[in-house]
Amino acid sequence: MSDFLIISVPAEGDPTKAYRDLSTGLTKYPVAQSVTEFAVPQNLKSAVFCSVTRKIAQYMGEVLEEQRHKLEDNLLVNGFSPSLYISQFQWDTAKYPIKQTLQSLYDILSENLSRLEADLRVRSTNYNNIKGALHALEKKQTGSLLTRNLAEIVKKQQFVLGSEYLITVAVVVPRTAYKEWEATYETLVNMVVPRSTELIFEDQDNGLWTVTLFQKMLNDFTLRAREKRFIVRDFVYDEKAIEDSKNMFSKLEADKKKQFPPLFRWLRVNFGEAFSIMMHIKALRIFVESVLRYGLPVDFEAILIVPNRKNYKRLREVLHNMYEHLDNLALSSTSDEEMAGAGMSHGEYYPYVSINVETNFVDAH
């Protein structure tokens, strides 16, 4: 069910009466929360719906992360909630002069949407790259000992450094195999330094042990250890590399923090811009479909209805009963091609012009 319905009915020379008749007819039943006139300029010179509004709203929710509960408060259009903006909608003649042709107006609206979509793509890609790289580093710092970055775990004094012959390696051993490791590590290959192993860290499943051996035996030791489910990590203690890794993490955190405010401001402003464009396109559709349905001269009344959710089906029934007499006129004067061009389908055909408007972006996914 839609949050709003914008419908159009023939005015028959008296738009006020058309609105009053509909409003009076609906008040007999608990099917609508409100019924108001919807301002569509009727002197437009003769559209297809598209919008990036939902994309912007969804991405705003993504960048808010754990603050996503604040999304709804930031989805504003000219300072108003989408629902209030719709209820007070007026055609923006400064941006979209009604003296221009429908095609020109649609081109302007479409170009503005395309610009917003392209800008969103660039901004989101840049921010997502930083966010993704930061997430990858965070994952390496908190994952399993089999994959996580060991730089934050080990200490310099736990490794033999600067030796021409000896090397200290880090080995991941299942917690259930500690005794086997201590009993066998010295004999996996020749030239392992006796009593050189030390448990330096544990997670839920494994322990990280160091062991020192001759460098030339490293490949054989790695293979023999793997046969017993002891995994030698490809890690060399390098102070510069460790410092570079820490600096990269700090830089990415700083970059993300720096980019968030301007990105979020852009999303807030341009959600409103995209929503406004969307509503102008819907107004164009109301105009075009009304002309196709009811003919020239232009004589229709556009009305905004806020349905009662529990009685949505009943609302459609009441509207159908009020305007079913339009069916013969509409079906006899409107071809299949015209209906398709106006965005209508047989599956959702009504005897009056009807366009849905959704405003729930918080639960979009």
Same domain, 98 and 8: yes
Tokens of 174: 């299942």
* C-alpha dist (Å) from residue 318 to 26, 35, 118, 169, 358: 7, 14, 43, 79, 22
Q: What is the CATH number of the domain that holds 220?
A: 3.30.70.100
| Residue 296 confidence (pLDDT) above 70 | yes
Closest by CA to 282, choosing from 38, 101, 73, 37, is 38
| 19 within domain boundaries | yes
Question: Is the separation of the CB atoms in 248 and 241 below 8 Å?
Answer: no
Q: What confidence score (pLDDT) does residue 42 get?
A: 60
Q: What confidence score (pLDDT) does residue 128 get?
A: 97
Same domain, 275 and 210: no
| 195 within domain boundaries | yes
Per-residue pLDDT of 60-108, as tens digits, reads 999 999 999 999 999 999 999 999 999 999 999 999 998 998 889 989 9
Same domain, 218 and 282: no
9 compared with 272, residue with greater pLDDT: 272
| 247 within domain boundaries | no
Final residue before a domain boundary, out of 215, 236, 257 = 236
220-249: average pLDDT: 92
**Cα separation, 113 vs 117, whole angstroms:** 6
Closest by CA to 40, choosing from 84, 89, 2, is 89
Per-residue pLDDT of 6-54, as tens digits, reads 888 888 778 888 888 888 888 888 888 888 888 766 655 433 344 689 9
Using the structure block, give the residue that is written with the tokens 């089906």.
Answer: 313
Same domain, 278 and 230: no
Alpha-carbon torsion (219, 220, 222, 227), positive or negative: positive
Per-residue pLDDT of 102-128, as tens digits, reads 889 989 998 999 999 999 999 999 999
| Least trusted range by pLDDT, from 226-230, 236-240, 254-258 | 236-240
Same domain, 104 and 11: yes
| 245 within domain boundaries | no
Final residue before a domain boundary, out of 216, 236, 256 = 236
Same domain, 183 and 278: no
| Residue 151 confidence (pLDDT) above 80 | yes
Give the residue numbers spanning the domain of 219.
155-236
Q: What confidence score (pLDDT) does residue 332 get?
A: 44
Q: What confidence score (pLDDT) does residue 297 get?
A: 86
Same domain, 203 and 298: no
Q: What is the 3-state secondary structure (H, E, C) of the chain?
A: CCCEEEEEEECCCCHHHHHHHHHHHHHCCCCEEEEEECCCCCCCECCCCCCCHHHHHHHHHHHHHHHHHHHHHHCCECCECHHHHHHCCCCCCCCCCCCCEHHHHHHHHHHHHHHHHHHHHHHHHHHHHHHHHHHHHHHHHHCCCCCCCHHHCCCHHHCCCCCCCEEEEEEEEEHHHHHHHHHHHHHCCCCECCCCCEEEEECCCEEEEEEEEEHHHHHHHHHHHHHCCCEECCCCCCHHHHHHHHHHHHHHHHHHHHHHHHHHHHHHHHHHHHHHHHHHHHHHHHHHHHHHHHCCCCCEEEEEEEECHHHHHHHHHHHHHHHHHHHHHHHHHCCHHHHHHCCCCHHHCCCCEEEEECCCCCCCC
Domain tally, the chain: 2
Average pLDDT, the chain: 87
| Least trusted range by pLDDT, from 187-196, 250-259, 323-332 | 323-332
Q: What confidence score (pLDDT) does residue 121 get?
A: 96
Q: What confidence score (pLDDT) does residue 246 get?
A: 84
With a pLDDT cut of 90, the percent of the chain lying above it is 59
Q: What confidence score (pLDDT) does residue 47 get?
A: 33
Question: Is the separation of the CB atoms in 210 and 197 below 8 Å?
Answer: yes
Q: What confidence score (pLDDT) does residue 33 get?
A: 86
**Cα separation, 91 vs 86, whole angstroms:** 11
Q: What confidence score (pLDDT) does residue 137 get?
A: 86
- Residue 86, phi then psi, degrees to nearest 5: -60, -45
| 32 within domain boundaries | yes
Same domain, 25 and 93: yes
Same domain, 12 and 89: yes
| Least trusted range by pLDDT, from 36-45, 143-152, 187-196 | 36-45
Same domain, 291 and 221: no
Q: pTM for the full model?
A: 0.73
Same domain, 277 and 336: yes
| 91 within domain boundaries | yes
Same domain, 22 and 99: yes
Closest by CA to 53, choosing from 295, 270, 282, is 270
| 307 within domain boundaries | yes
Final residue before a domain boundary, out of 183, 215, 236 = 236
| 315 within domain boundaries | yes
| Residue 220 confidence (pLDDT) above 90 | yes
